[in-house]
Amino acid sequence: MKIIFLGAPGAGKGTQAEIVSERLGIPTISTGTIIREAIKTGTEMGMKARKYAESGALVPDDVVIGIIKERLVKPDCQNGFILDGFPRTVPQAEALDAMGIAPDVVLSIEVSDDKIVERMSGRRVCECGASYHTLYNPSKDGAHCDKCGKELTIRRDDAPEVVKSRLETYHTMTEPLKDYYAAKGTLKCVEGQERVEDTTALTLKSLGI
Ligand code: AMP
């Protein structure tokens, strides 16, 4: 199964993607996680991406499309995959089409801007890709990852002024993808709920799993 998660930053794509990934035994590919890792290790791509990612802007299409092309040919993607954070622009979706990749389902998690701002202030992340929230989805001890035990951190781009610009970018650049995939008949929408497990129930139902 090939699934794309759409939604504003902080809508819960990563959290739901992780759950579905475990259930279906297919990998989640998060361009955001790949970019943050590259920035941290200082690769050439990371150095190119840094100024965009840290200011909340989108990394240029050619860079992100390159990342996806490299990742999707790996053997673990053969039985399907979940894309979290890609595509984010119409040209990126067109690039996926050009690669001969047609998603089975594109699931958009809908959350209002006000709620997004509230959620981002409580988000805590681990470098392994796991994501928590101080109120809605805390880790067991509140400070370390339940999966790998590493210390949780606050993403730089979750600062309130950066969140505002990320939301603007989402509405102008990414939201048009809903029409793009609706026209192909693959779009499904789920209302993001306060509790993670409630959103998960709706997500699994929508995916028919
Ligand atoms: P995320 O973790 O998905 O919120 O991504 C963090 C940041 O990485 C974004 O704010 C962008 O700067 C960059 N990024 C991730 N995915 C993409 C993409 N598909 N297109 C452009 N930039 C991206």
Query: What's the whole-model pTM score?
Result: 0.91
Give me ligand 1 centre to Cα 201, in Å.
Answer: 26
Q: From the CA of 129, how far away is ligand 1's center (Å)?
A: 14
Instruction: Please spell the DSSP secondary structure of the chain, one letter per residue.
Output: -EEEEEESTTSSHHHHHHHHHHHHT--EEEHHHHHHHHHHHT-HHHHHHHHHHHHTPPPPHHHHHHHHHHHHTSGGGTT-EEEES---SHHHHHHHHHTT---SEEEEEE--HHHHHHHHHTEEE-TTS-EEETTTB--SSSSB-TTT-PBPB--GGGSHHHHHHHHHHIIIIITHHHHHHHHHT-EEEEEPPSSHHHHHHHHHHHHT-
The pLDDT score that the predictor gives to residue 142 is: 94
Residue numbers annotated as active site? 13, 88, 123, 155, 166
Q: Is 11 within 8 Å of 199 (Cβ atoms)? A: no
Condensed to tens digits (0 to 9), the pLDDT of residues 152-178 reads 999 889 988 899 999 999 999 999 999
Find out whether the beta carbon of 85 lies less than 6 Å from any atom of ligand 1: yes
Residues 58, 51, 127, 89: what is their CA dihedral angle, to the nearest 10 degrees?
10
Q: What is the pLDDT of residue 33?
A: 93
The pLDDT, as a whole number, for residue 39 is 95
The closest-lying atom of ligand 1 relative to the alpha carbon of residue 84 is: 3
Answer for the pair 105, 77: CB distance below 8 angstroms, yes or no: no
Take atom 14 of ligand 1 and give the residue whose Cα is closest.
32
User: Ligand 1 mean position to 196 CA, how many Å?
Assistant: 22
What gap in Å lies between CA 82 and CA 65, rounded to an integer? 16
Question: Which stretches in the chain have pLDDT values below 50?
Answer: none
* Ligand 1 site-directed mutation target among 4, 35, 120, 126, most atoms within 8 Å of CB: 35
Nearest-angstrom CA–CA distance, 178 and 167: 16
